[in-house]
Amino acid sequence: MSEKLVQVEHLRQYFPGGGFGKRKKYIQAVDDVSFSIDRGETLGLVGESGCGKTTTGRTLLRLYEPTGGRFLYNNEVIFDVEKKQYATMLPYRKKMQIVFQDPYASLDPRMTIGDIVGEAIDVHKMASNKQERYEIIIEMLRRVGLNSEHANRYPHEFSGGQRQRVGIARALAVRPEFIVCDEPISALDVSIQAQVINMFEDLQAEMGLTYLFIAHDLSAVKHISNRIGVMYLGRMVELADSYELITRPLHPYTKSLISAIPVADPKEARGSKRIVLEGDVPSPLNPPSGCRFRTRCPYADERCASETPEWRELEKGHFAACHYIDKCN
């Protein structure tokens, strides 16, 4: 029986979007998102830019205070907005970490690599003396493919791929159980991306890590993830086993995303049909009523405009939110 490490229920994150009094508007970045992650599992979260993936990850770690919903970590309440329950985060910072998207912006240029990795060790008092601190730092750098010489250098002396490795070493320094990987490969060269993904998999096997792996590149996510969730305009539209989602997508938006994955074989590429969505993504400041995907969906009708589709399990472990799953497939 698998153990649920992360349980997210009806998560909402709204940001002020202008206006005053009754006219005040909110950007509905994340709206009613629910999922769980088993211990040792990787859940991929995909969707186009602005769909709320990063906001979801940051809200779980309370880098943003949530607007609504409930988050349990190892059956302990991190926050429950409705009941006004909020845990003290410092003890959980050791257990939950994040690898940021931009390796250039996420490292302090005035600190050495050793101090960047060692900062969390100091905060959580994980080393009893300077020698032990140094040994932990060197071990973490070694785990991500760097060496002891790099500890005294500064971020500007490294390439993008090496900086991202430093960011990963920093996250690993407190020996966490759960890491939010916020598009950790999107700023890297394609040749480096595969190395970093393989490194994530090796670290997971060595340290028993659990990942929420956020990306907009489905081909990368399907390689590392056990299950994949698809988001559109703040809502989860489909969630299934990685292989199942790629080979048998049910939601029209997921079908469109998968059709955009490049195919290496020219013969196969000629035979594959690209599903091109019409129109632009609506603004999260004023999302469409009912189904948020209806303005771009070829199957949408009046029901889609008036009713929000129910999030339901259509097959074992395969969830989707659409009124016309039968018509789409």
pLDDT, one tens digit per residue, over 225-244 is 999 999 999 999 999 999 99
Mean pLDDT of 27-52: 93
The confidence band for 188, taking pLDDT boundaries of 50, 70 and 90, is confident
In this structure, the strands spanning 312-315 and 76-80 are unpaired
- 131-186 pLDDT, tens digit per residue, is 999 999 999 999 999 999 999 999 999 998 899 999 999 999 999 999 999 999 88
- 38-49 pLDDT, tens digit per residue, is 999 999 999 988
Is the pLDDT higher at 260 or at 250?
A: 250
* pTM of this structure: 0.92
Residue 132: CB atoms within 10 A of its CB come to 12
What integer pLDDT is reported at residue 2 of this predicted model?
65
DSSP annotation string for 17-63: -S--GGG--EEEEEEEEEEEEETT-EEEEE-STTSSHHHHHHHHTTS
Statement: residue 122 has pLDDT above 60: yes
Mean pLDDT for all residues in the chain: 91
- 292-325 pLDDT, tens digit per residue, is 999 998 888 899 999 999 999 999 999 999 998 8
Statement: residue 1 has pLDDT above 60: no
Distance CA 185, CA 205 (A): 19
Mean pLDDT of 179-202: 88
Assign domain 4-95+176-328 to a CATH class: alpha beta
What integer pLDDT is reported at residue 99 of this predicted model?
95
Statement: residue 265 has pLDDT above 80: no
Which one, of 226, 181, 204, 221, lies nearest residue 317 by Cα?
226
